[in-house]
Amino acid sequence: MAEFFQYVVAASLVIAGIFGIVGSFGLIKLNDPMSRLHAPTKATTLGVGGVLIASMVHALMVEHHLSVHELLITIFLFLTAPITANFIAKAHIHRHCTAEDLPDPAPDARWAGLTEEEADTPDAQ
Amino acid sequence: MIIEYAIYFAAFCFGSSLLMNLWKIVSAEGVGDRVLALDTMVINAIALMVLFGMWKGTEIYFEAAMLIAMLGFVSTVAYARFMLRGNIIE
């Protein structure tokens, strides 16, 4: 039985490594800055999640003690990765986009990264 | 035994990811890409530390990985805030 779980740990480690390298390769390969945002924030986070799952299974099934630190790190990373992605996207809108580049926001709202003068589109006035 | 080889493979993957991120930090044309690459470096460093803890069979590295995760999040938010507003604490 322990041998089976060794294979589980090894498989999730290999999958995690592939996800991690795909995320970072996407970071240098993709062309558009907002496309580049996708690769590290999703694939790399999944890769780290795979490593942490492997670590939990390893501690529980191979070394026979329960370890919950990994769960803390996983929850923290999965909570913070979308927040950082949102912040970086907002900063990108603020620095590089005008209201004409973006789709129209909801009727009584404006884009968060734009200042009030930038958000006033000519056709809205 | 097979776990050890899997750890080597994963460490190779995350180590070369770190090198790619470093290359991106050097060669990026915008500051947003640099912040993104730095954030990815933090996440890859966490993965490497957890792998090292598994390899050595100790648990002390999980605490270090937790600390790095928190500091990495805070520093990325501070960088993004600086890009967005020009200062961090208003």
pLDDT tens sequence across A25-69: 999 888 888 888 888 888 999 999 999 999 999 888 888 888 888
Name residues 44-83 of chain B within 8 A of A (Cβ): 44, 46-47, 50-51, 53-54, 57, 59, 62-63, 65-66, 69-70, 73, 76-77, 80-81, 83
Q: Does A42 touch chain B (CB under 8 A)?
A: no
Contact state of B73 with A80 under an 8 Å Cβ cutoff: yes
Domain ranges of chain A: 2-93, 101-125
pLDDT at A119: 63
pTM: 0.86
Q: Give the separation between CA B1 and CA B37, rounded to whole angstroms.
A: 34
pLDDT tens sequence across A58-107: 888 888 888 888 888 889 999 999 999 999 888 888 888 777 777 777 77
CB-CB contact of B33 with A30 (8 Å): no
Q: Measured between beta carbons, which residues in chain B are less than 8 angstroms from residue A35?
A: none
pLDDT tens sequence across B35-61: 999 999 999 999 999 999 999 988 888
Residue B31: pLDDT band with limits 50, 70, 90: confident
Q: ipTM of the assembly?
A: 0.87
Give all domains of chain B, ordered by start, each with its CATH number: 2-85 (1.10.287)
Q: For the stretch A83-111, what's the b/e string if a residue is b when 16 or more beta carbons lie within 10 angstroms of its beta carbon? A: ebbebbbbbbbbeeeebeeeeeeeeeebb
